[in-house]
Structure 1
């Protein structure tokens, strides 16, 4: 079966940078430098060719993120829920703001995300009539890792996600399970590395 066509303009990209950065001692993770550029800038540069417009979910340093996103005209959004309730709150803000049928999210600490993330997720969404598509990888030992916040989501799910969060729920995968979801297997584990500590960041910066 021939995959239905799609355009980058059909997708809004979202960089999730709204967390507390607890595993980095509370610093704003997306603004930490890697090879001379903030982590979030690497992610924006990777997402930009794959999407029509870009958004940044950030609850701190909004002006810094706005300046960071300026080359791509990326808008900065804060969570509408208090107390840093997790990535679903960032996704909700993105789903509400997007003016496209689809939202593609990626965390701010994934500077090597795949250049074909949008294409492969969209092809799967259209082929399987899925409302949510996420990524997985398999290591040399055959262990599968899921990467749920690398996600392509229909923006029509915003109201359902709002109701889920208002009910006090916070689990990403549990919300996905409420909908028709699919997973795309990727082979490059490095593309999905999350830099979760300052020590890891320093090691990658020296590499």
Structure 2
């Protein structure tokens, strides 16, 4: 399948003592490596949004981008930078997704269309950073949302035509695993 994988790894890591979550090791390997090792179908291109440790992230990416906005404005700013560097169908995942279901990438990608954004919906909640979309179609919408002061992934998605994609088990990120709460 011809798609670009966008990995969001640009956060401050406040809930993990300021560490770069994508580079935190689990079983002797960085989280980002675990995510990429279990990803199928394989992407044609990988774009990682990272605001620090760019040289390290280049090991796993075709391109590493930093936020175009100052001050760590959240994952939507990272998605904006990544969409600006991408074309066509994109799959977006957070770097700290712990053990995503094997079917998740294919399910999102197979249901993606240019007229809507596919978003993972687990039994507990919508997962706004696990999505598939066409870069060109949604780039300006996201830029306008951020220009108008928006920061929330939920807030942006609430303005768009969404196609939920059911995930059988709750998705957990590193924040949830360490602290028992959502990111």
- Both structures adopt the same fold (TM-score exceeding 0.5): yes
Change (3 A) 1:74 1:41: farther
- Which structure shows the bigger proportion of residues in helix conformation? 1
C-alpha separation between the residues in 2 aligned to 1:165 and 1:98?
18
Name the residue aligned to 1:79: 67
Question: Which of 76, 79, 85 lines up with 1:97 in the alignment?
Answer: 85
Instruction: Give secondary structure in 2 for the equivalent of 1:114.
Output: coil
TM-score (norm. length: structure 1): 0.79
> What aligned pairs does 1:37-186 form with structure 2 within 5 A after superposition?
37-47=29-39, 49-67=41-59, 69=60, 73-99=61-87, 101-126=88-113, 130-138=115-123, 144-156=124-136, 157-186=138-167
C-alpha separation between the residues in 2 aligned to 1:56 and 1:200?
23
Q: CA RMSD in A?
A: 2.0
Q: Which moved more, 1:44-53 or 1:85-94?
A: 44-53
Q: Deviations over 1:57-93 (max 9, x none)?
A: 10011111112x1xxx532111111111011111111
> How many matched pairs?
178
Instruction: Give secondary structure in 2 for the equivalent of 1:164.
Output: helix
Change (3 A) 1:118 1:50: farther
- Which has more radius of gyration? 1
Instruction: Give secondary structure in 2 for the equivalent of 1:80.
Output: coil
Q: Deviations over 1:78-112 (max 9, x none)?
A: 1111111011111111111113x221111111141
- Structure 1 residue runs of 5 or longer lacking an equivalent are 1-7, 139-143, 202-207
Question: Which of 10, 14, 32 lines up with 2:6 in the alignment?
Answer: 14
C-alpha separation between the residues in 2 aligned to 1:48 and 1:39?
16
C-alpha separation between the residues in 1 aligned to 2:42 and 2:103?
8
- Structure 2 residue runs of 5 or longer lacking an equivalent are none
Q: Deviations over 1:101-138 (max 9, x none)?
A: 22111111114123222321233334xx6421111111
- Give the superposition deviation at 1:48: 6.0
C-alpha separation between the residues in 2 aligned to 1:44 and 1:18?
17
